[in-house]
Amino acid sequence: MSETKLPTYLADAKPNPMSNRAAWFKNTAPAYGGIILWFAFWNNIVNTGTPGGGLAYGIILPIITIIVAALVAHFFFHLIPGLFGMKTGFGLAVVGSSVFGATGGTFMPGLLMGLLQFGWLAVNGYFSSILIAGALPFAMPPWIIMVIFIALAVFVGLKGIKYVAPISTYLPIIPVVVLVWLLVKTVGSVGSFDASEISAVAGAAPAISKFGITAYIVTYMIGFFATAGAAGVDFGTNSRDAKDVQLGGLVGVSLMMILTGVAAVVILAGAYGNPEYRAALVASGASMDPTQIMGVVLGTNAGKICMGLLALAAFPSACFASLISANSFKTMLPKINSNISVGIGGLAAVLLAVTGIAGDAGSVFGFIGASFGPICGAMFVDYFMNGGKWTGPRAGFNIAGWLSWALGFTVGVLGILGMIPMGPIVAFIVGAVVYYGAMKAGLKTEVIPFNK
């Protein structure tokens, strides 16, 4: 196949030159840090929906689990994609064509990345609207806010992202300030925390085992990060060398996950360890969301202000989700008007939000993890099978890649249904093993000459 017969996204691809790249602390680390500071990540990290949540047996178990999951996120989901991007200068869609084929790459991971952004948008719209509703001085149904929030995010993502980008640089300061403030108010009571006092609030023993807590946190964190990990290819194109990729991930991904996740655990434990706070929190239902206890810990007015500010800080990420979708559709399906495709996706995000489906963040992130876990697993194996080099795109649909994704996604979905634990991790492993076996068995298409 000659270069002229390549799909448009490959034929038009240009590597990012070294002259455009910079140190890890100027691009990768702050970019990932901004994603992980998003309140919807740390707000639900131990909210299992059962009595006592992830703190039902104390704080040591969730803290250890958070640390392990944060390291897994970098070393298994971000590092290899980042190295691919750094070495080639090409983004995810191009690099992914070695796994799924030149034609297959149009759909996987190209269009899939764009489609799954609407899941992120729905979760963002749902939780941000809940905060806005709680911050308003008058009553407004959250579903109305969800419609407005998501519609504005889609509009700005399509038309005016250049006006949001400069502001979004500084907005991550808001969740940092809120987390620090909550920590200052609660850390002194952590030593008095008694897990049994909140585990028994619902009048029953903890409804989730210690392993269940570990499985929930790992599924939640890796599911949340899966698409961002694969997008490490794009982040990697801005890295100068492997050291930039490593440090960018260790600091921007692992360290930020540990800091925000552990902060959420300490805040909740400290709040319930304070007799005055605990009485008010238990009376209101013993929430395991840091944002929902702010009114008690910080005071009603301050809590409402923080809710509004956290929602404001989350808005740019909603716009960027729309932008990523638009760019994905423009690149992979250039003949289709992206305003229509993104508009339809935005409508789907609205439906997920107003019906409350997006409110089950664990399941949404589990589905995202099931979708991208096998992709990260196959890329992981592809890197080592080829001595750390990118082979270039393969012709048509590369059977090995598609088989690995199909089986990995299937087991990942079983995780959402509660049939297996830690679905995104199992999906990664299955995707990696199946890809290796299929490639060794010769279920692959030929590599296309690709000189850029």
Please tell me the distance from the alpha carbon of residue 46 to that of residue 61, in angstroms, as a whole number. 11
The pLDDT-based confidence of 164 (bands split at 50, 70, 90) is low
Predicted confidence (pLDDT) per residue in 99-146, tens digit: 999 999 989 988 899 899 999 999 999 999 999 999 999 999 999 999
Give CA–CA dist 421/413, Å, rounded. Answer: 11
Q: 108 and 403 in contact (C-beta within 8 Å)?
A: no
Q: What integer pLDDT is reported at residue 319 of this predicted model?
A: 87
Residue-wise pLDDT for 12-33, tens only, equals 899 999 999 999 999 999 989 9
The answer to whether the CB of 254 falls within 8 A of the CB of 82 is no
What residue has token string 């809120």?
Answer: 178
- The pLDDT score that the predictor gives to residue 355 is 96
The pLDDT of residue 452 is 65
Q: How far apart are CA 348 and CA 326, in angstroms?
A: 15
Q: What are phi and psi of 316, to 5 degrees?
A: -55, -35
pLDDT at 321: 86
Residue 236 has pLDDT above 70, yes or no: yes
Alpha carbon 417 to its chain centroid, in Å, reads 20
In angstroms and rounded to an integer, the radius of gyration of the C-alpha atoms of the chain is 22
Q: Which two tokens stand for residue 425?
A: 């991790």
CA within 13 Å, CB half, 449: 5
* CA gap 223, 243 in Å, rounded: 26
What is the DSSP-derived secondary structure letter of residue 192? G
Average pLDDT, the chain: 91
Architecture of the CATH domain 21-440 = Orthogonal Bundle (1.10)
The owner of tokens 């250049």 is 162
Which is it for the CA torsion 295, 296, 301, 306, positive or negative? Answer: negative
Alpha helices in 333-398 (DSSP H): 338-354, 361-385
Token representation of residue 145: 């806010």
pLDDT for 161: 62
pLDDT at 356 over 90: yes
The whole-angstrom separation of Cα 118 and Cα 332 is 17
Amino acid, res. 315: F
- The DSSP symbol for 394 reads B
Q: Which amino acid, one-letter code, is at 93? A: A
pLDDT on residue 207 = 66
**Stretch 328-335: mean pLDDT, rounded?**
81
**202 vs 213: CA distance, rounded Å:** 18
Long-range contacts of 180-183 (CB under 8 A, 24+ apart): 181/298, 181/306, 182/263, 182/267, 182/290, 182/294, 182/297, 182/298, 183/263, 183/266, 183/267, 183/270
Round to whole Å and give the CA distance between 448 and 202: 61
Distance CA 296, CA 302 (A): 10
Asked if residues 73 and 252 have their Cβ atoms less than 8 Å apart, the reply is no
